Structure 1
Amino acid sequence: MDEVEVVVAHSERATLRVGDVFLKVDADQARTDVEVEAMSLAPVPTPKVLWRKPPVLATAALPGTTLGRLGGPSTGSPAAWAAAGAAVRTLHDAPLPPWTGRAGRSIDTLAKELDDECEALVSNGILPAGVVTRNRRVAEAALRPWTPVFTHGDLQIAHVFVDGDEVTGIIDWSEAGQGDALYDLAAFVLGHEEHLHDLIAGYGTDIAIDLDVIHAWSSLRSLLAVRSLIAQGFDPFAPGCEVEVLTSRM
């Protein structure tokens, strides 16, 4: 029997790998419903669903390797980053799914979440007030109207697989839905902004991409993530992770 590898585990969900099969155990079946539906609609390579027996979803492993991970080096070439940008553009140009995703929360909802989280980060002594205030100002640029597209919603660098310079698949679709395209781009380059121009080269320069909004989403996403990551046993203070992203704005 193959060794069981724990890929990620916290109070909401766990993902295990056994050989070439990934087993995702999720306490929220609505999240799994979204994931399965999104993978069936997305016009980009996604893992094959092998079977589903709630609360477990089994998918096949993708060929290739990830472009990198948050807090670690990027192993992908500029051409691989450009290929990833082209794949993301294909997703964003696809027909809209019939539900709103994480990247499509209303401006009022995001502003309230951001205000509450910034207050908690300072009052609990988690981050210096200056870092929080500066990033709160940067984040304001994301709080504007946008045209919704089909977004992945959690497009971390570790969720995109490549083989050489070809994208072989994108995983973890539970946050997918209608949302802001620049949210996806910001999530993808979080901690790896040196590859932003390669990503945009593949995404396409036929539309205007506001870099200030991408930076804003990076600050907003990082501010909202710090306390949640700590509660789940992750370390946002690790080199290259969320807190470093926030302090780099100073």
Structure 2
Amino acid sequence: MDEVSVVVAHSERATLRVGDVFLKVDTDQARIDREAEVIGLVPVPAPKVLWRKPSVLAISAVPGVVLGRLGKPSTASAAAWASAGAAIRRLHDTPAPPWPGRGGQALEELAAELDDECERLVADGILPADLVTRNREVAEAALRPWTPVFTHGDLHIAHVFVDGDELTGIIDWSEAGQGDALRDLATLTLGHPDRLGDLVAGYGTPVDLDVIRAWWSLRTLLGVRWLIDHGYDPFTPGGEVDVLRARM
């Protein structure tokens, strides 16, 4: 009999694995419905939707292994990273759904959220002021007009699967929608700056590397308190706080 394993769990959602089936339990039914819809739209390998009921989405596993883990060097080949870049480019070239994805809000709203988060990180004693100030300066480059494209929205390195040199699947589409293409590229290379060249080579079009680096700072500043509040440790070696320290 297959055992039930908890992949991730916090107050908003949980993902359980039973054999080759993943059960996503979410407090937001609209998010479940949207993820199921997105999986049917994307032009890249993705899980299959097996069934959907109130608060639960059942999807299949994808073959292969994760591209890497935050905090650890990626052992995937340069060709595997390039394959991921090519798949992301296909996604970005696909007509986007009508709704905004994560990070797709207006620039003024995003800047205000970032400033508020920076103030709270310092006021609550979570991070030193000089670290926050420096990364807020770096993040400024990401706060520029962009053309919305079809983005994954949470393209964490552990959401991308490969087999040898080939991409075999991208999972967790709950945050997908219109957004900044460079945010996806930045999220995937967060903590793995040495693999950015391989990813961009596969992406196949020139990108502004300074904006990607800015997104590293911006995304991490916005995520530190959320991680702590949901039981994760951003101070793990190689994790989010080390990403911020690298900008110093």
**Normalising TM by the smaller chain, what interval?**
over 0.9
Contact 2:103 2:110 in 1 (8 A): no
What is the identity, as a one-letter code, of the residue corresponding to 1:210? D
Which amino acid in 1 is paired with 2:13? R
Aligned to 1:245: 243
Residues in 1 aligned to 2:143 and 2:105: alpha-carbon distance in whole angstroms: 10
> Where does 1:118-157 land on structure 2 (aligned, <5 Å)?
118-157=118-157
What is the CA deviation profile of residues 163-194 of structure 1, one whole-angstrom value per residue up to 9, with x for unaligned ones? 11111110001110011100000000000110
Q: Which amino acid aligns with 1:232?
A: H
Is 1:93 aligned with 2:79? no
User: For 2:60 and 2:66, how far apart are their aligned partners in 1?
Assistant: 15
Q: Provide the secondary structure at the position in 1 that maps to 2:173.
A: coil
* CA positional deviation for 1:75: 2.3
Counterpart in the other structure of 2:34:
34
In structure 1, give the amino acid aligned to 2:98. P
Question: Is the contact between residue 62 and residue 169 of structure 1 (CA under 8 Å) also seen in structure 2?
Answer: yes
Aligned with 2:229 (options 225, 228, 231): 231
**CA-to-aligned-CA distance 1:24-73 (integer Å, 9 cap, x gap):** 10111111122111111111111001111121111011110111111223
How far does the alpha carbon of each residue in 1:104-146 deviate from its partner, in whole angstroms, 9 at most, with x for none? 1110111011011000000010000000000000000000000
Match of 1:159? 159
Question: 3-state SS of the aligned residue for 2:25?
Answer: strand
Normalising by structure 2, we get a TM-score of 0.98
- Aligned position for 1:216: 214
1:73 aligns with 2:73: yes
SS of the aligned residue for 1:150 comes to strand
How far the C-alpha of 1:11 sits from its partner, in A, is 0.5
Worse-matched range after superposition: 79-88 or 62-71: 62-71
Residue of structure 2 in register with 1:184 after alignment: 184
Q: Does the CA-based 8 Å contact 2:16-2:23 persist in structure 1? A: yes
The amino acid across from 1:135 in the alignment is: N
| 1:86-106 alpha-carbon deviations (Å, 9 max, x no partner) | 000000011111111113111
Residue 222 of structure 1: how far off its partner (Å)? 0.1
Question: What one-letter code is carried by the residue in structure 1 that aligns with 2:184?
Answer: D
Match of 1:171 in 2: 171
Indicate conservation of the 8 Å contact 1:44/1:91, yes or no.
yes
SS of the equivalent of 2:103 reads helix
The amino acid of 1:34's aligned partner reads R
Q: Find the aligned partners of 1:132 and 1:32 in 2 and give their Cα distance.
A: 35
Moved more, 119-128 or 26-35: 26-35
For structure 2, the residue ranges without an aligned partner over 5 or more in a row are: none
Whole-Å separation in 2 of the counterparts to 1:120 and 1:222: 14
Q: Residue 103 of structure 1 contacts residue 184 of structure 1 at CA under 8 Å; is this kept in 2? A: no
CA contact (8 A) 1:96 1:149 kept: yes
**Percent identity (aligned):** 74
Matches of 1:54 and 1:192, distance apart in 2: 38
